[in-house]
Amino acid sequence: MHKLLRVSGLALILAVPLGAGALAAEPTIVELTQVACQFVESENNVDHKFTTQKKADCEAINSQSGAARLAKAEPLKLKPGKYIFRVKNKNVPYSLGFWVRDKDYDWRNPLHKLTKTSVSGGGLTTGKTLEYEVELEAGEYVYSCPLNTTPDYLLIVGG
């Protein structure tokens, strides 16, 4: 059985085992929608209706407005546990991806690849939905799409 919860505008589905009193170890599903240069739910469910034909369009848009939009956005707040980020490319005309990682993750640091959280993937073509599974411990993370050049949205995992 699944429960659908709304938290800060994000859809969360909790898996609850039949006949059991506690939550199963099933992952919680977080649904995110990518449109041009942004994640809709991450910006308080506002689609800014940006237009893009290539990554450089989003780089220009977000260099001008990304910081101001992030300042207004509520961080995604979750509890420690297993998650599936179900990400949809709603209408961006090129292949996208998704990347969630520790806030201080540096891909150039070989130790970070061994000790920090980083889950990513691509192949998110127009209209397609893909899932990215990750286990999150208490701490601060960011998520984004480097191919759609979205801002780095804050994710706080607390106890």
pLDDT per residue as tens digits for the range 90-104: 999 999 999 999 999
Fold of 2-157: Immunoglobulin-like (2.60.40)
With a cut of 70, say whether residue 20 has pLDDT above it. no
pLDDT at residue 23 in the model: 53
99 with 107: CB under 8 angstroms? no
What are the residue ranges spanned by the domains of the chain? 2-157
- pLDDT for 11: 52
147 class by beta-carbon count within 10 Å (0-12 exposed, 13-18 middle, 19+ buried): buried
Q: What pLDDT score does 25 carry? A: 74
What integer best gives the mean pLDDT of the chain?
88
Burial group, residue 100, by CB count within 10 angstroms (0-12, 13-18, 19+) = buried
Q: What is the pLDDT of residues 42-77, one digit of tens each?
A: 999 999 999 999 999 999 999 999 999 999 999 999
Query: pTM of the predicted model, to two decimals?
Result: 0.84
Please give the DSSP secondary-structure letter assigned to residue 74. P
Banded model confidence at residue 39, pLDDT cuts 50, 70, 90:
very high
Largest interatomic CA distance in the chain: 53
Which two structure tokens, joined as six digits, stand for 83?
């998650």
Please report the pLDDT score of residue 85 as a whole number. 98
* Residues facing 29 on adjacent strands: 13, 84
